[in-house]
Amino acid sequence: MDKWYVIGQGSSFDSDMDYSEIAIDFFNRGDSNDIKVYYNFFKSKAIKYFSEFLDFYNMEDIENYITHNTPYDVENMSSNFVIHFDTFKQKYSIEDIQTRFDEYMENWSFEYSSVEDYLETSDFNDLSENKKIRAMRSFEDSKYRATKRFILLIVQTFDFLSKILCFLDIERRDMSTQAILRLNLGGKLSIIANHTGWFAFNSYMFALVNNVYLLGVPSGISTYDGIVACPYYFFSHDLNHTDDIIDAYGRPDQMEKILTIYENIHKGDYIKQEKEVLIFSLWYHVHESVQRVDSTVVYPNSFAIADDEFHNYLDVFDYINPKIRKDILNNFEAIYGWLDKINRTVDVSRSDIPRFLNNITLKVTTSDILKFLQNDTDSGVVESNEEDLETWRTDPRKLRVYVMIWYGYYQISSMMSSLK
């Protein structure tokens, strides 16, 4: 099989591509083997997550363990779940939790068998043409409903696991209620159970252009948008993002544009790092640039990352490839003319726009960027006496990220405009 959608060359953007491939095969082809692979894959993940919960539950000093075994600042967690530990153990015995988990697993087996049953009764060759058409429609409808129940059950199970891994009340609001609405609207939801909940940018985009929406569920403390939190809050955050994305791009005409750009990136004459910059920018355009304000989806006409969010991307672009550097310099006037135009036309005083969209004002001037790009090395520092720009102009890594993201987003915006 030609995996044209893989960047290759050891790109971290391709990590966990198996989650995307398995989900796409399950939803978009859905033969007996696809369903079996999906079922066994996620059953093993659920069992592993539950095993990790048991390890936590049986610890005598979980706070000490978390403090010394988590690579994050747990002092600044958005919800310090350790404080719920004693209350949780008083309310639920290990037998209570085990029974609930076993019920989920039994229901998995039942729903999996239901989907399999529909597949086994899908031979219509002995029917007349009219009866065959009616039978196939009935089969597809029944299979769709059975598949939807099966996926919903998986979402419910990982919702349950995210709660117990946070030591929350298991009767707390079920996030699968939100998932039901999305499934009824045709949203194809699939879990990423890779323990961190993070997805690789290319793997996420490959699933998305195949109309599959990935939801991350960590098995322990993880981070999102610079926030340190336990699994339930991470999962909830991802589900909210997915709501906005489906509203913004769920229509076939919108998704077709994203697919066209995605294919052009992979099939175009780009080096590895160019593909990574463009895939990242396309992902950011889809996943981060759509915000909901008073139940209304807002499409920004610009692209900005708040200063405190840069740490999430410092490791994505460690250097600027000479080819990209040359391309930016050759198109400097067009790129930064476009950038300056956006910054002049956006009304940054609007109070109803989300916080990160207010961070439009250029932190570094175009002349600063030009000096940086013309430097022969990638560690050059742009001199400045202005205190408010001091950290930006003396931090080469931030300058790299800044340049790469604006360059990538300019390219993506140009591609978007050409498809209108």
Cβ-based neighbours of 108, under 8 Å, separated by 6 or more = 39, 43, 46, 150, 153, 154, 157
pLDDT tens-digit profile, the chain (420 residues): 689 999 999 999 999 999 999 999 999 888 889 989 999 999 999 999 999 999 989 988 777 777 777 766 666 664 566 778 888 999 999 999 999 999 999 999 988 887 777 666 555 555 556 555 555 565 566 777 778 888 889 999 999 999 999 999 998 877 766 776 666 666 789 999 999 999 999 999 999 999 999 999 999 888 887 788 889 999 988 888 888 888 778 888 889 989 999 999 999 999 999 999 999 989 988 887 655 444 444 444 445 555 556 666 777 887 788 888 888 888 877 776 666 665 554 443 333 333 333 343 344 556 666 777 776 555 444 444 344 444 555 566 767 777 787 788 788 878 887 886
Please give the pLDDT value at position 295.
45
Q: What is the dihedral of CA 294, 297, 301, 303, to 10 degrees?
A: 90
DSSP string, 161-176: HHHHTTT--TTS--TH
C-alpha span between 34 and 340 (Å, rounded) = 50
Cβ-based neighbours of 65, under 8 Å, separated by 6 or more = 59
Total-model pTM: 0.84
Please give the pLDDT value at position 301.
42
189 forms beta bridges with 213
Helix ranges, 82-128 (H):
85-91, 94-120
Please give the pLDDT value at position 97.
97
Please give the pLDDT value at position 120.
60
Q: Tell me 378's DSSP state.
A: S
Please give the pLDDT value at position 22.
96
CB 7 within 8 A of CB 279: yes
C-alpha span between 143 and 119 (Å, rounded) = 8
C-alpha span between 85 and 164 (Å, rounded) = 10
C-alpha span between 47 and 43 (Å, rounded) = 6
- For the chain, what are the domain ranges? 12-248, 256-418
Q: Tell me 215's DSSP state.
A: E
